Structures are given as C-alpha cells and as structure tokens.
C-alpha cells in the first residue's frame, strides 16, 4: 500500500478479536469454542468455590447468569460444526449440571430433563430460528435480502409461505454460515409457528412444537 509516496506493508495476522469473538484466517470456530469453554469453566470453578451444592432453582439462576452467557454469546456468528468443538462446549454444561444436589449420579440426558434444560446444540438451533424470525419479521434493523432469499409462494408445493431458498455451497465455511445452516430447520416449521404475531408468541409456539 502506498501513501504519499511511502510504501507500507500490511501486517498479516492469523487471528483477530472483535466484540468478544475470535476470528481466524481459516474462518473456523475452534479457537472461539475453546476460549468460550475456558471462560465458562473458570466461572464454574469460581462458583463452586463459593457454593458447595445448589438446589435446582439456585443452579438455574447461576447457570443462566454466569455460565451460559459465555457458552452462547453471539453464537450465531461462530456456531461450531465440528464434533470436537461441540464436545468442548458441552463438556462445561455436563460438569455444571453435576453440581446440583442429587444430580451427580444421574445420566446427562436425565439431568437436563429434570432441570428443564436442553443440550447446547439444541439451544443453538433455537437461537438461530429466533434470529431468523426477527430478521424476516423486520424486528432487526438489517436488510432481510442480505441474509435470505424467499421462495416464491406460487412455486411451493407444501409447507408455510415463508420458506427460504438454500444456495449451493462449495466450502464448509460457507455451508455452515448462519444464513445457510438455518434454512432446513426454518423450512420444516409449521405455518402457525412462523406466522406468530410477536417474538414471545414465536418462542412459545416454537418450544411447544
């Protein structure tokens, strides 16, 4: 790059942190997953030093306030798609649910059911669908067409009237972008869910479905 006759070389970097999210040159989310898991685990250790055991209500307040915020912060932009990255994040939640009184010897699925929680993967899918609803319904101050392309209603054979077109992708880095990975899940929703009049109504209908 030249500036008033002075030649300057742009610095090449392999990673960059912006708004708390790490982006690497290969556009993979492994670094962000490890950073998020480490922060959440550090917070869990601090909580365990302060409290020996929680009951269900205490745990849910602490988990949602101090631990989940790290595991799911801005997750639409760095959603993990490698199994190893998903396991790194889920390991924190597995360990956290063992801190509740009477839960340590139960299986993970049983602990989640008793606490009214879901796996992080299921939570990420729910978050993607909520964000899609916000964009399509105009509740987000963004250009809808920059994210999604609606299929013409007259060309649809079945399903609801807000189906999204899924573009072909050559690379996984594009295949697992938010605007691509959410398409199948969104298109599979019933009409009464996607046409919810408000965000709270959409969440309720989505959870019931």
pLDDT value at position 157? Answer: 59
Domain spans of the chain, in order of start: 15-117, 124-208
Q: Which residue has the tokens 């809808």?
A: 144
pTM for the full predicted model = 0.80
Angle of helix 120-136 versus helix 199-208 axis, rounded to 10: 140
Tell me what pLDDT residue 27 has: 80
pLDDT at site 3:
57
pLDDT of residue 200: 94
Is 158 or 79 the better-scoring residue by pLDDT?
79
Q: Where are the alpha helices (DSSP H) in 55-119?
A: 56-62, 68-71, 83-97, 108-115
Selection from 120, 135, 112 nearest residue 59 by Cα: 112
3-state secondary structure labels for all residues of 135-156: HHCCCCCCCHHHCCCECCHHHC
| C-alpha span between 65 and 10 (Å, rounded) | 41
Q: Which of 31-45, 134-148, 191-205 has the lowest mean pLDDT?
A: 134-148
Instruction: Round the average pLDDT of the chain to a whole number and report it.
Output: 87
Distance between CA atoms of 119 and 94, rounded to whole angstroms? 9
């Amino acid at each position: 790059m030249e500036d008033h006759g002075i030649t300057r070389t742009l610095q090449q970097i392999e990673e960059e942190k912006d708004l708390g999210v790490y982006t690497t040159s290969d556009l993979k989310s492994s670094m962000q997953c490890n950073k998020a898991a480490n922060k959440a685990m550090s917070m869990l250790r601090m909580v365990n030093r302060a409290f020996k055991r929680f009951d269900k209500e205490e745990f849910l307040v602490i988990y949602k306030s101090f631990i989940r915020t790290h595991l799911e912060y801005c997750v639409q932009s760095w959603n993990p798609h490698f199994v190893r990255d998903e396991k790194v994040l889920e390991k924190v939640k597995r360990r956290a649910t063992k801190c509740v009184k009477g839960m340590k010897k139960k299986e993970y699925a049983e602990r989640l059911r008793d606490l009214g929680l879901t796996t992080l993967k299921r939570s990420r899918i729910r978050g993607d669908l909520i964000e899609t609803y916000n964009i399509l319904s105009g509740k987000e101050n963004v250009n809808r067409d920059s994210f999604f392309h609606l299929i013409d209603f007259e060309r649809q054979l079945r399903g609801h009237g807000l189906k999204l077109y899924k573009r072909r992708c050559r690379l996984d880095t594009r295949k697992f972008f938010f605007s691509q990975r959410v398409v199948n899940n969104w298109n599979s929703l019933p009409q009464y869910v996607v046409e919810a009049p408000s965000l709270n109504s959409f969440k309720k209908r989505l959870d019931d479905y």
